[in-house]
Amino acid sequence: MFNFITFILFAVVCISYCHKSRGRRHFGDEYRINTPACDIVCEGQWKSEFHANFHKIYDTEYFEIPLDTAIVKNRANLKMFCSSTIQKYSCLRNECKIQRTPWSAEKHICVGHFDNFDRNINCLSLTDKYVQRECSNVCNSIKIEISQAEIDRMAEMDFSRQEKSEFVEQNKHCNVIACYQLCHEYIISKVCIDSAVAARSVVKSYYDSYLEREYTELNKDDQDELYSSFCRRVTPGQDENEFTANMTRYNNLTLDRMKNDIRSVFSILD
Ligand SMILES: *[C@@H]1O[C@H](CO)[C@@H](O)[C@H](O)[C@H]1NC(C)=O
Ligand SMILES: *[C@@H]1O[C@H](CO)[C@@H](O)[C@H](O)[C@H]1NC(C)=O
């Protein structure tokens, strides 16, 4: 059991980090400076359990993209992570009276899709080392570009320097996420023969929801014009030609290049 002091300690650490997740920008976060709010305490407790269970620091050593080794390593780890996550959500509900919570990676895995993750844990565990090594190599070095049509459009729309840089960053982020998704699905097809279809769909639904959240965060701040055509192409329910026409071919080429890069990294396995 964790004592109260530990909770408070983590809650204080959490005030500066809780709403941050690595690799993403943030829009309109509010930080509370005084006594930790109720939800911050639930969150801090969850993070301190993560630390105790996995011997790493959630804020700096846990990654949502790709799926973290700590949780897909084996069934015991997945269960440990999820039982603590379920506790966090009951803490939010029962202690803080928060009924509606936004999408989070851990909620997706442990609340929405636990059975699917659990059923496919062998395949996820088997593919993890390739995802961490080969997929990371290829996805961290893909060529990421913005089409001339969108550069022209940003000029026409008089995007500020900051808007341009947010557009570029978001586009990069979508490219890396899409690359990990394609790469993970590719390696599942190679390695998990019998369970490949089911495991691919678990991975796909995780990445799809992650991208939907990316879009929702921009949209809620009325900044959805900062979401590039490529981002729209890979996000379910979005239209790649919404703001800039005729982008399908450009995005096809981007995705084809990505798939080729992935294939060539794994050609050694064939
Ligand atoms: C899109 O492509 C079609 C056919 O290539 C062309 O006729 C049309 O003018 C293009 N639209 C824009 C807005 O560039
Ligand atoms: C883009 O790719 C899809 C298949 O993935 C294809 O059906 C479509 O014709 C392609 N479009 C263009 C404009 O290249």
Task: For residue range 24-53, list pLDDT tens digits in order.
Answer: 433 334 444 456 789 999 999 999 999 999
Atom of ligand 1 nearest to the CA of 149: 14
Q: How far apart are CA 14 and CA 183, in angstroms?
A: 33
Q: How far apart are CA 199 and CA 197, in angstroms?
A: 6
Q: How confident is the model at residue 21 (pLDDT cuts 50, 70, 90)?
A: very low
Q: Is the pLDDT of residue 100 over 50?
A: yes
Q: How far apart are CA 240 and CA 219, in angstroms?
A: 15
Quick check: CB of 246 below 6 Å from ligand 2?
Answer: no
Q: Is the pLDDT of residue 2 over 60?
A: no
Q: How far apart are CA 117 and CA 105, in angstroms?
A: 12
Atom of ligand 2 nearest to the CA of 253: 14
**Atom 7 (ligand 1) nearest CA:** 246
Q: In this structure, which ligand is nearest to the CA of 249?
A: 2
Quick check: CB of 241 below 6 Å from ligand 2?
Answer: no
Which tops the pLDDT comparison, 221 or 150? Answer: 150
**Atom 5 (ligand 1) nearest CA:** 246
Atom of ligand 1 nearest to the CA of 246: 1
Quick check: CB of 241 below 6 Å from ligand 1?
Answer: no
Q: Is the pLDDT of residue 66 over 70?
A: yes
Quick check: CB of 252 below 6 Å from ligand 2?
Answer: yes
Tokens 């982008």 sit at which residue? 247
Quick check: CB of 248 below 6 Å from ligand 2?
Answer: yes
Phi, psi (degrees; rounded to nearest 5) at 57: -90, 120
Single pTM value for the model? 0.85
Q: What are 147's two structure tokens?
A: 């089409």
Task: For residue range 73-88, list pLDDT tens digits in order.
Answer: 999 999 999 999 999 9
Atom of ligand 2 nearest to the CA of 246: 13
3-state secondary structure the chain: CCCHHHHHHHHHHHHHHCCCCCCCCCCCCCCCCCCCCHHHHHHHHHHHHHHHHHCCCHHHHCCCCCCCHHHHCCHHHHHHHHHHHHHHHHHHHHCCCCCCCCCCHHHHHHHHCHHHHHHCHHHHHHHHHHHHHHHHHHHCCCCCCCCHHHHHHHHHCCCCHHHHHHHHHHHHHHHHHHHHHHHHHHHHHHHCCCCHHHHHHHHHHHHHHHHHHHHHHHHHCCCHHHCCHHHHHHCCCCCCCCCCCCCHHHHHHHHHHHHHHHHHHHHHHC
**Atom 8 (ligand 1) nearest CA:** 246
